[in-house]
A and B are shown apart, each in its own frame.
Chain A
Amino acid sequence: MNEQVISGYKSQSLGLHGTIPGADQLREKAFSNFEAQGFPTKKSEDWRYSDMRQFHKQAYGLVDHAAKPELPDMLGETAARFVFINGRYSEDLSDLGDLWQAISIRPLANHFMSNEYRVNELITGTDAVSCLNTAMLRDGLVLSVPAGVEIDDPIEIVHVMSDASNQAAHVRHVVELGEYAAVSVIERFIGDDSAYWTNSVLQARVTEGAKLRHIRVQEDGANAVHTAKSYINLDGGSEYICTNVALGGKMSRFDAEVRILVDGAKAIVNGVALAGSGQSHDMHVHISHIAPHSSSDQVFRTVADSHGKTSFQGKITVAKDAQRTLADQSFKALIFDKTAEANAKPELEILADDVKCSHGATVGQLDDKAIFYLTSRGIDPETARQMLVAAFTAEALEKIEFDDIKEALSGRIATWMLTRTATPKA
């Protein structure tokens, strides 16, 4: 791997020393792990569908200026909004509502000031990109919900990138749910046309009976690269419901690493990806059933237009002791023409015998018969296609419990369909 790239990141990481109490050693450890493996290439099995070349050419710098970009409207009714500009928390632009009365929310640096030892709870990661996120630990939120507290409206975290060509933001959020607590987190990613890199990690510990709803809306700028990882650990009877919507960026990648550690937990990870010309969306889910009597479900729907590419690698592992596991996975992809591409690798790895695991995957184009049916009822073909795509993606949005947010996202999909260039022949 390019020496200059490595040394570039090394000096960046060293430059961050002292910014977060207790984190220096963790950064060093993560960096040496990153250095040992370097950025993945096409030959790395987990990254075979993503083009990583830009990462090998040059080191993305750390953004050092705080721009004042315009903020987007909220997706729906929210309890609070936290804003990150170019990877740094902006207190001025954030609106805590009256959330502070119920739960503790602190920036990373403040959180570790009083309990430095807890830095070790941060997940270093094993892959190069997560390791680099840890090595560049700089900012993020620590959100702790006390036992029994349920927050009804979602909390929105908006990440805005502005005027940040060849620069990167490595953000880390930590979510901790006490027993029987419940919270919803919306992560949004937006940005301008500069060629920036967002590298975000969210880690969550969901304790007994607690419930975490997680919605990710990726609308990065047209030249952006987006990589993100969620590390979720589930205790007994807890629930994790995630919906990931990938719309923006030139190349995007989302990884969900969900571990069911104690009996009876439930994990749902769904996703929609729409790839227009030159875009590539790569989604990875690994649900690992370690304890018995747990269940998991994955529903992914992707659409690739001309020169667009969507990929999905979903893995379900069931450990030897995880008897009575129920796991299901469904991936469906639409491709609009011969320049579009859809890849899937739905993987099962099962070591227990009393389980029921299944996966299904389909790739195809919109059903001619369905289009014919709609047009025969007086609907023009364009609208018919939009309706079918809306119905196709709706399955993956179903688990969003907030109607206004679900509607806003369906709206995004409808708008995307209006701007399609490829017109598949009926």
Chain B
Amino acid sequence: MAATAKTKQQVEDMSGDYKYGFSTDVDMDMAPKGLSEDVIRFISAKKDEPSWMLDWRLKAYRAWLKMEEPNWAKLNYPKIDYNDIYFYAAPKSQNKPKSLDEVDPEILRMYEKLGIPLREQEVLAGVEGAAKVAVDAVFDSVSVATTFREELSKAGVIFMSISEAVKEYPDLVKKYLGTVVPQRDNYFAALNCAVYTDGTFVYIPKGVRCPMELSTYFRINTENTGQFERTLIIAEEGSYVSYLEGCTAPMRDENQLHAAVVELITLENAEIKYSTVQNWYPGDKDGKGGIYNFVTKRALLKGDNSKVSWTQVETGSAVTWKYPSCILAGDNSVGEFYSVAVTNNYQQADTGTKMIHMGKNTSSTIISKGISAGKSHNTYRGLVKVLSGADNVRNYTQCDSLLVSSTSGAHTVPYIEVRNPSAQIEHEATTSKISDDQLFYCRARGLDEEEAVAMIVNGFCKEVMQHLPMEFAVEAQKLLGISLEGSVG
């Protein structure tokens, strides 16, 4: 027996009716269409960048020209015409806003419609005692508002847009930018290096536990604008930060390209927790439109005893190409990857992780849950690699797929490469539909079928959802569109 009609409906609703599909009228400042050295110079000049940054971009661009678009992923999409894309679009404002009051009210209203409390007093819908969340709002390509800066700066935390950081902390940026994801790392990363317009820069000084969870809401606006964020997070010795990334995008007919790069660096005893809820426009029921999402996310666990934890809930985008990875270089470092990916209609997701074990006693955990509905394809692709010098490595991988329709596909492509005998590598994967036994068991205990299915699907994702920060877990649950009745959190 297949999943109930209601569950199917709920899963379909997730991407079928995109309630965040509206666009905001704001004057845009644009670069000419297409990509060339001139466009890169334009972007760099617009952002008033130092010359080293421009050189860095041009070097990446020249490398990109010689590279080929990868085609190994299980993804089918029309060829991207890079000359038909605006690589830079910024809200027109002559002066940088000094406070939230100066931010274009249109933008503020848009965030309000999305239920994102940008204003400080609205943090988490005014729940008393709730953790404070700092929001660095990215509206298309330029950060328009940054909150909580004061409180953060008291703690010594640097949390700003990366274009500001390039000017204010050039030494820090120079030291770390491109060290985890180099310019010629891959096709989309090189493109990002050349044309990235903005993003987030976070620096947590030695021994500091970031006083609040940092959050950036990305939003893509303006037709035909690719958005190329660049995020760089550095956690100094003994520091801790939890970073939230969430996204929604207005409904548009034409495909929009998105190629982000995220670099995380942890030094000794540091920890970064990086959580993502990705809910960009997935295209309509016939597979028309939707975001193309090509993301390179990688963490370098440079110091001993450091830890990076990636948690992602992927429900949006027409095409997702994303492999948040960990290079476990420091001894005793720990990498984690928790992922829920839901695809529906004609969505395609090829996502997973890479755990490269270089240091001794390093360990990694991979939990991936894929749910496929409609005519979608959902692929887990991962690599666990143990180099010969990495003694006593431990890895546990579990990737489960749940099929909700007979027209969808679920694929698992894990790679395991081990060169050290003391490694203990375990990999498990299953693909199934909701089992009749489980349904029967629940129903025998008085639950109706829908409740039972909801409960089973909840349980299926629970291992991942519980790793999300509270603020996100709620949103993620909504996105999963399953009536939860408070059983998962």
Interface residues of A (CB under 8 A from B): 45, 320, 323, 333-365, 424
Task: Decide: B428 and A359 in contact? CB cutoff 8 A.
Answer: yes
Q: Are A357 and B431 in contact (CB under 8 A)?
A: yes
| Cβ-defined contact, A353 with B414, below 8 A | no
Whether A338 and B421, one on each chain, are in contact in the complex, defined by CB atoms closer than 8 angstroms, is: yes
Q: Which residue of B lies closest to A318 (CB)?
A: B431
- Which residue of A has the minimal Cβ distance to B422? A365
Listed by A's residue number, 15 A-B pairs whose Cβ atoms lie within 8 Å are: A338-B419, A342-B418, A343-B417, A343-B418, A351-B409, A354-B433, A355-B432, A356-B432, A358-B431, A359-B429, A361-B426, A362-B424, A363-B418, A364-B425, A424-B421
A340 and B419: CB pair below 8 A?
A: yes
Residues of B with C-beta under 8 A to A354: 2, 406, 433
- Interface: B291 (CB within 8 A): no
- A338 and B387 CA atoms in complex are apart in Å by 9
Kindly name the residue among A334, A341, A363, A365 whose own CB sees the greatest number of chain B CB atoms within 10 A: A363
> What residue in chain B is nearest A356 (Cβ atoms)?
B432
The answer to whether A341 touches B419, judged by C-beta atoms less than 8 angstroms apart, is: yes
Q: Cβ of B433 and Cβ of A355 under 8 Å apart? A: yes
A344 & B415 in contact (Cβ 8 Å cutoff): yes
Interchain CB contact under 8 A, A353 and B425: no
Q: Give the interface of B toward A (CB within 8 A).
A: 2, 72, 386, 388-389, 401, 403-433
Instruction: List the 7 closest A-B pairs by CB distance, nearest first.
Output: A353-B403, A348-B412, A361-B427, A365-B421, A344-B416, A363-B425, A338-B388
Identity of the chain A residue whose Cβ is nearest the Cβ of B419 in the assembled complex = A341
* Given known A-B contacts A361-B425, A364-B424, A320 and B406 have beta carbons under 8 A apart: yes
Whole-angstrom distance between the Cβ of A194 and the nearest chain B Cβ: 31
Closest chain B CB from A323 CB (angstroms): 7
List chain B residues, Cβ under 8 A from A342: 416-418
Q: Return chain B residues, CB-CB under 8 Å to A350.
A: 401, 403, 409-411, 431
Contact A357 B430 (CB under 8 A): yes
Q: Is B428 in contact with A358, judged by CB distance below 8 angstroms?
A: yes
Check if B406 sits within 8 Å of A360, measured CB to CB. no
Whether the Cβ atoms of B418 and A353 lie closer than 8 Å is: no
A345-B414, A347-B411 known; A364 vs B405 contact (CB < 8 Å): no
A180 to B410, CA, bound (A): 35
Are A361 and B406 in contact (CB-based, < 8 A)?
no
Q: How far is the CB of B341 from chain A (nearest CB, A)?
A: 15
- For the complex, give the distance between the alpha carbons of A364 and B394 in Å: 10
Q: In whole Å, how far is B429's beta carbon from the nearest beta carbon of chain A?
A: 5
CB-based contact A364/B427 at 8 Å: no
A residues in contact with B432, CB < 8 Å = 355-357
Would you call B418 and A333 a contact (CB within 8 A)? yes
Which of B389, B428, B431, B433 lies in contact with A360, CB distance below 8 A? Answer: B428
B389 and chain A: residue at smallest CB distance: A338
For chains A and B in complex, what number of residue pairs have CB atoms within 8 angstroms? 124
Min CB–CB distance B398 → chain A (angstroms):
10
A358 to B401, CA, bound (A): 10
> Shortest Cβ distance from A152 into chain B, in angstroms?
38
Additional pairs, 5, CB under 8 Å, beyond known A336-B421, A353-B406, A357-B430: A346-B429, A349-B411, A352-B403, A358-B429, A359-B428
A130 to chain B, nearest CB (A): 22
Query: What is the chain A residue whose CB lies nearest that of B436?
Result: A354
Q: Nearest chain-A residue to B413 (Cβ)?
A: A347
Rounded to whole Å, the gap between the CB of A361 and the closest CB of chain B is 4
Q: Give Cα A348 to B403, complex, Å.
A: 13
Do B423 and A364 have beta carbons less than 8 Å apart?
A: yes
Q: How far is the CB of B366 from chain A (nearest CB, A)?
A: 12
Task: Give the complex CA separation of A19 and B55 in angstroms.
Answer: 66
- Give A353 Cβ to nearest chain B Cβ, in Å: 4
Q: How far is the CB of B256 from chain A (nearest CB, A)?
A: 28
A338→B431 contact, CB < 8 A: no
A343 touches B421 (CB 8 A): no
Closest chain A CB from B439 CB (angstroms): 13
Per a CB cutoff under 8 Å, which of A45, A320, A348, A353 touches B411?
Answer: A348
Taking each of A45, A333, A355, A362, which has the highest tally of chain B beta carbons within 10 Å of its own beta carbon?
A362
Selected contact of A320 from candidates B407, B415, B420, B425, CB within 8 Å: B407
Most central of A320, A337, A359 by chain B CB within 10 Å = A359
Query: In whole angstroms, how far apart are the Cα atoms of A355 and B416 in the complex?
Result: 25
A363 touching B409 in the complex, CB below 8 Å, given contacts A45-B72, A338-B421, A339-B388: no
Q: Which residues of A contact B72 (CB under 8 A)?
A: 45
A341 touches B425 (CB 8 A): no
A78 to B283, CA, bound (A): 63
B408 contacts A353, CB within 8 Å? yes
Residue of B nearest to A361 (CB): B427
Chain B contacts for A361, CB-based, 8 A: 414, 416, 425-428
Of chain A, the residue at the smallest CB distance from B385 is: A343
Centre residue among B412, B424, B433 by max chain A CB count within 10 A: B412
A269 to B462, CA, bound (A): 35
Determine the residue in chain A with the shortest Cβ distance to B410: A350
A344: chain B residues at CB < 8 Å are: 414-417, 427
B415's partner among A323, A343, A364 (CB-CB below 8 A) is: A343
- A131–B264 CA distance with the chains assembled, in angstroms: 47
Report B-chain residues with C-beta under 8 Å of the C-beta of A335.
Answer: 418-421, 423
In the complex, the answer to whether B421 meets A353 with C-beta atoms within 8 Å is: no
Contacts A363-B418, A364-B424 given; indicate if A348 touches B406 (C-beta within 8 A). Answer: no
> Contacts A320-B407, A333-B418: A355 and B431 contacting too (C-beta < 8 A)?
yes
Contact among A323, A334, A360 for B427, CB-based, below 8 A: A360
A339 CB contacts on chain B under 8 angstroms: 388, 419
Cβ contact within 8 Å between A341 and B417: yes
With A and B bound together, what is the CA distance between A12 and B401 in angstroms?
49
Q: Which residue of B lies closest to A48 (CB)?
A: B415
Nearest B-chain residue to A339, judged by Cβ: B388
Residues from chain B with Cβ under 8 Å of A333 in the complex: 418
Residues on A with C-beta less than 8 A from B433 are 353-355
Return chain A residues, CB-CB under 8 Å to B2.
353-354
Chain A residue, CB-CB nearest to B399: A348
Smallest distance from the beta carbon of A347 to chain B beta carbons, Å?
Answer: 5
Out of B407, B410, B420, B425, name the residue touching A362 (CB < 8 Å): B425
B358: shortest Cβ distance to chain A, in Å?
A: 13
A363 pairs with B416, CB closer than 8 A: yes
A424-B417 Cα distance, complex, nearest whole Å: 20
Instruction: Tell me how far the C-beta of B53 lies from the nearest C-beta in chain A, rounded to whole angstroms.
Output: 34
- In chain B, what residue has the closest Cβ to A329? B429
What residues of B have a CB within 8 angstroms of the CB of A357 in the complex?
Answer: 430-432
Contact of B423 among A351, A363, A424 (CB under 8 A): A363
A289 and B241 CA atoms in complex are apart in Å by 47
Are A346 and B414 in contact, with the CB atoms below 8 A?
Answer: yes
In the docked arrangement, what's the CA distance between A315 and B426, Å? 18
Bound together, the chains give a CA A366 to CA B415 distance in angstroms of 22
Closest CB of chain A to B424's CB: distance in Å?
A: 5
Q: In this complex, what residue of A is CB-closest to B388?
A: A338
- A424 CB → nearest B CB, Å: 6
Q: B405, B409, B412, B417: which contacts A359 (Cβ < 8 A)?
A: B412
Which residues of B sit under 8 angstroms from A334, Cβ to Cβ?
421
Q: Which residue of A lies closest to B418 (CB)?
A: A363
Asked if residues A352 and B427 are in contact (CB atoms below 8 Å), the reply is no
Q: What residues of chain B lie closer than 8 Å to A340, measured between beta carbons?
A: 419, 421
